[in-house]
Amino acid sequence: MRTKFKAWTKPYIDEHPEVMASDEFLKALTESYFLEIGSGKGKFICDMALAYPRHFFVGVERNVTCAGIAAKKIVEGEISNAKLVLANADEVLLKIRDQSIETIFLNFSDPWPKKRHHKRRLTALPYLHQYNRILVRGGRLIIKTDNDDLYAYSLETLIQSPLKIIEDSYDYDGRAEFDSMTEYELAFREKGQKIHRIVAEKND
């Protein structure tokens, strides 16, 4: 489900810098925050920010059209506890300080099906080590996917990582308290596709 390019999105982002989180802004946050990598059109991050106004949410999105649509939702919803970063995850992770993230959400990440591209998967071992670095003690990584191969791969790499799997559902019912459905999840559920969910925790 590739998003069609929309020319208005980049100018919209430029017109609303208050929605974008700079490196300086993230470093200045005094409390740990919640990070969604691959925030798409922003339904999840906006729903979560509205449901949990005392938490601060940051969404990372590399697609300018998706980021622009998400930015518009934040502006029009007058959501003050959510911001976006328009960049690749690799760039952003290196700039995040140690032990500053409460929870990382990976919602329906690109499965990169070809074996030679598996290192690009957001649950590849180098990424998991980065997540472990930036998570607070007891912080969590929450993964949702419809892709069987990515689900199995993620379980394997998590076992090799410092993070500990505490929940694993092949057929997730969507009823976890701290969660919301993304655009992808709604579409997949309408088709009867199973949603897989993994929760891992940092213990060291």
What residues of the chain score a pLDDT lower than 50? none
CA distance 29 to 106: 22
pTM value surpassing 0.85: yes
Please state the domain extents for the chain.
9-201
The confidence score (pLDDT) of residue 112 equals 95
In this prediction, residue 1 carries a pLDDT of 57
Superfamily of domain 9-201: Vaccinia Virus protein VP39 (3.40.50.150)
Residues tagged active-site: 110
pLDDT attached to residue 41: 95
Q: What pLDDT digit, counting tens, does each position of 74-128 carry?
A: 999 999 999 999 999 999 999 999 999 999 999 999 999 999 999 999 999 999 9
Contacts of 20 (CB under 8 A, 6+ apart): 13, 71, 83, 84, 85, 86
pLDDT (0 to 100) of residue 30: 84
The answer to whether 128 touches 157, Cβ cutoff 8 Å, is: yes
Q: Using CA atoms, how far apart are residues 42 and 36, in angstroms rounded to an integer? A: 10
pLDDT number for residue 10: 95
Two structure tokens written together for 178: 């701290």
Q: In degrees rounded to 5, what are phi and psi of residue 42?
A: 90, 5
- The confidence score (pLDDT) of residue 28 equals 87
